[in-house]
Structure 1
Amino acid sequence: MKYKLIALDVDGTLLNDNHELSERTKQTIQEVSRSGAEIVLCTGRGPQNSIPFMEQIGLTGYVISHNGAATVDVVTKEVVHQFAMDTQALIPYMDYFREQRIHFDVNTAFHMYVDSVEGMAVEVRSMYENFLMLPANLPQLQEFKEPVVKVTAFDHADVLDKLYEEIAQWKPEFNILRSGEYFVDLMHPDASKGNALKQLAERRGILPEEVLAIGNYFNDITMLTFAGLGIAMDNSPLEVKAAANEVTASNNEDGVHEALLKYCLS
């Protein structure tokens, strides 16, 4: 089978634990691209801190960002599709995060906002620096000129375990997703990596069985199950491995390189 569309998660998949892309994985992706496959990054990051990896590899095309909430053209920076959230319905969640002293950010396709940039804790600021982001101060919701596509809560894992359990019992207005050990995302109910990948494949005239996807966390399950071949990293939780067709090496062992070598270049 020659896969025509290859979706790669970024953190914990494409990048190692130092947030670095290895030269070996980069060269393998370039070789797969030269063979005719289209590469798309499918990530919880926004386009502004995921498109640079496409440029580093030398790729054009698309990034599926914000866990599927916004798909963006790498070259033109055009938002080709996004799932807009009901901002009024977000207010109780934001109030709850503030009451619980849980840090959160509000995202449009290209911008990120927090309650107070100046008041961010050191570990919060460090997190944004690791992800190559600097948020701005949050305006009033009615002042937003662009759709809000994602709200992310950030805290210790045990705090987010309790948060997820609590808000998952509320009226099901959003897709509430554990997108990382220290993150919980709220998105439009139809927004997911799998749904965005499905839309992109249809737009490109590519069948599901011609799609290969590689990921490592719960937010990747929808794209792993949509793709004809879903591959989990060895550093994935057991539930993610169970949802995948295959398991490759970890992100610190060039698992993306190993998978592409086996299924696209052999």
Structure 2
Amino acid sequence: MPATPIPTPLLDTAGLPTGPADIRLIVTDMDGTLLDDAKRMPDGLWPMLAELRRRGVLFSPASGRQYATLARQFAEVAEGMVFIAENGTYVVRDGVELSSDTLDASVAARIVRTVRELVADGVDVGAVVCGKRAAYVERTDEAFLAEMRRYYVEHRLVEDLTAVDDDVIKIALFDFGSAEHTTAPAFAAFAESHQVVVSGEHWVDVMNRTANKGTALRGLQRALGITPAQTMVFGDYLNDLEMLDAADWSFAMAGAHPEVVSRARHLAPSSNDNGVLRTISRVLGL
């Protein structure tokens, strides 16, 4: 969920072209950016994706969600689409891995044990071990499982998260309180060697230091021969910061985290106001 909203114009047109821009790649975060507060796809998305494809513009979702979840959400148009999943740790196109950044098994086990210690101290937090094949959980209460299922359609309940047999790319932590003020500080020791990223009001992701949406995006740009000047990016939360840096056309959503607003070059209407599609239409002259 976004931070406390700050006043922003519906669309910051300063620096936008008067005619269609040469955009070849559009990358958007999902929750709080493309999806509205009810987690719904925006009206008009499918016709716009068809028009972007006709124009040779690649549209790529970039999310903390797993690849299987994103592929299901875009099943109608998934052919040829690049999915930047798990906050950039796993990039897939047409079922083929383009890149990944896996966690060392010993590090993953330490993170799980730290979560167990937090729970023993009374913190209401649970871990999701994110593998390439599925997401894994050992917490069994329905309240936690309901939150996990929203983002991980391929998931398995296991007895011991330290014994998962999969390539682990990320560990996501769901805190029923404030992830930024409770869970994230508890992982300060990991931040010395790994990334501890607050990806939402209740979520913290722990990944390799080299892994983020921006790294994944830059690799995709190199592979496709697309420049930052030809790239448009939308985001709303802290896990989008590096991705915004990789595009000249970077947009923070109205109501985004203040750091995202300060990092982006432009402002877009909120996800509840169909900000991504409205901005694409404006910039590309659709």
Normalized against structure 2, the TM-score is what? 0.84
Superposed, which structure 2 residues align to 1:179-258 within 5 Å? 179-258=199-278
Q: C-alpha distance in 2, partners of 1:66/1:104?
A: 14
Aligned residues: 260
Q: Which residue of 2 aligns with 1:26?
A: 46
Which stretches in structure 2 are left out of the alignment for 5+ residues? Answer: 1-20, 120-124
Displacement of 1:133: 2.3
Displacement of 1:171: 6.1
Q: Which amino acid in the other structure matches residue 95 of structure 1?
A: R
Displacement of 1:220: 0.7
Q: C-alpha distance in 1, partners of 2:193/2:255?
A: 31
Q: Is the 8 Å Cα contact of residues 29 and 257 (structure 1) preserved in structure 2?
A: no
Q: Which amino acid in the other structure matches residue 91 of structure 1?
A: A
Q: Which residue of 1 aligns with 2:134?
A: 111
Q: Which amino acid in the other structure matches residue 106 of structure 1?
A: V
Q: Which residue of 1 aligns with 2:10?
A: none
Q: Which residue of 2 aligns with 1:36?
A: 56
Runs of 4+ deviating beyond 4 Å: 139-143
Displacement of 1:157: 3.7
1:83 aligns with 2:108: no
- Mean CA deviation greater in 8-17 or 18-27: 18-27
Q: Is the 8 Å Cα contact of residues 32 and 265 (structure 1) preserved in structure 2?
A: no
Q: Is the 8 Å Cα contact of residues 7 and 40 (structure 1) preserved in structure 2?
A: yes
Q: Is the 8 Å Cα contact of residues 32 and 264 (structure 1) preserved in structure 2?
A: no
- Pick closer, same or farther for the CA change 1:90–1:158 going to 2, 3 Å: same
Matched residue SS, 1:187:
strand
Q: C-alpha distance in 2, partners of 1:176/1:29?
A: 33
Q: Is the 8 Å Cα contact of residues 215 and 242 (structure 2) preserved in structure 1?
A: yes
Q: C-alpha distance in 2, partners of 1:214/1:231?
A: 5
- Pick closer, same or farther for the CA change 1:52–1:171 going to 2, 3 Å: closer
Q: Which amino acid in the other structure matches residue 24 of structure 1?
A: G
Matched residue SS, 1:18:
coil
1:66 aligns with 2:86: yes
Q: C-alpha distance in 1, partners of 2:144/2:161?
A: 22
Q: Is the 8 Å Cα contact of residues 7 and 213 (structure 1) preserved in structure 2?
A: yes
Q: Is the 8 Å Cα contact of residues 130 and 136 (structure 2) preserved in structure 1?
A: yes
Q: C-alpha distance in 1, partners of 2:263/2:79?
A: 29
Q: C-alpha distance in 2, partners of 1:11/1:56?
A: 20
Q: C-alpha distance in 2, partners of 1:6/1:171?
A: 30
Normalized against structure 1, the TM-score is what? 0.90
- Mean CA deviation greater in 155-164 or 105-114: 155-164
Displacement of 1:207: 1.2
State the superposition RMSD in angstroms.
Answer: 1.9
Displacement of 1:5: 0.9
Q: Is the 8 Å Cα contact of residues 29 and 260 (structure 1) preserved in structure 2?
A: no
Q: Between the two structures, name the one with larger relative contact order (CA 8 Å, sep ≥ 6).
A: 2
Matched residue SS, 2:269:
coil
Q: Which residue of 1 aligns with 2:33?
A: 13
Q: C-alpha distance in 1, partners of 2:270/2:217?
A: 23
- Pick closer, same or farther for the CA change 1:223–1:159 going to 2, 3 Å: closer
Matched residue SS, 2:225:
coil
Q: Is the 8 Å Cα contact of residues 130 and 171 (structure 2) preserved in structure 1?
A: yes
Residue deviations 1:98-147, cap 9 Å, x none? 1211201101123100114xx22x32122134336252123564552x32
Displacement of 1:59: 5.1
Q: Which amino acid in the other structure matches residue 184 of structure 2?
A: Y
1:48 aligns with 2:71: no
Q: Which amino acid in the other structure matches residue 132 of structure 2?
A: A
Matched residue SS, 1:177:
strand
- Pick closer, same or farther for the CA change 1:237–1:104 going to 2, 3 Å: same
Displacement of 1:79: 1.6
